[in-house]
Amino acid sequence: MIKKRKKKDKVLVLIQTFNDGEFLLQAINSLLKQTYKNTNILILDDGSNDYNKKIYKKIIKNNKRIKYIYKKNTGIIDSSIQLMNIAVKTKYKYFAKMDGDDLSDVNRIEEQINFLEKNNYDLVGCDYVRINSKNKVFEYNKCSNNKISRLNQLMVESIFAHGSILFKRRLLDNKILRYDPVDNNLPFPEDYNMFNNIIYKAKIGSINKPLYQYRIHNRSYSESNKTRYKEQLIKVSRRFFLDNKKIFFRQNKNFFSEDFFDLIIFFKILYRNNLWNETRMLKIIYNNLTYKKIIQIAIYFCKRKINKILNV
pLDDT tens for 54-91 read 999 888 888 999 999 999 999 999 999 999 999 999 99
Regarding whether 117 and 58 lie in a shared domain, the answer is: yes
Give per-residue pLDDT as tens, 159-178.
999 999 999 999 999 999 99
Which of 180, 211, 239 delimits the end of a domain?
239
**pLDDT for the residue 6:** 47
What's the rounded Cα separation, in Å, for the pair 234 and 263?
19
* Cα–Cα distance measured from residue 55 to residue 52, given in angstroms and rounded to the nearest whole number: 5
Domain that holds residue 74: 11-239
Q: Is the pLDDT at 244 greater than 90, yes or no?
A: yes
- Alpha carbon distance 27, 24 (integer Å): 5
Whether residue 164 sits in one domain with residue 103: yes
Residues 67, 206 share a domain: yes
Asked whether residue 199 falls in the same domain as residue 141, the answer is yes
pTM value? 0.93
Count of domains observed in the chain: 2
Q: Are residues 283 and 163 in the same domain?
A: no
How do residues 119-141 score in pLDDT, each as one tens digit?
999 999 999 999 999 999 999 99
In a domain, 302, yes or no: yes
pLDDT bin (cut points 50, 70, 90) of residue 308 is confident
Residue range 139-151: average pLDDT? 96
Please check whether residue 12 is in contact with residue 95, taking contact to mean a CB–CB distance below 8 angstroms: yes
Cβ(205)–Cβ(124) under 8 Å? yes
Judgement on whether residues 216 and 306 belong to the same structural domain of the protein: no
Query: What is the rounded CA–CA span in Å between residue 308 and residue 271?
Result: 24
Q: Is residue 244 part of a domain?
A: no
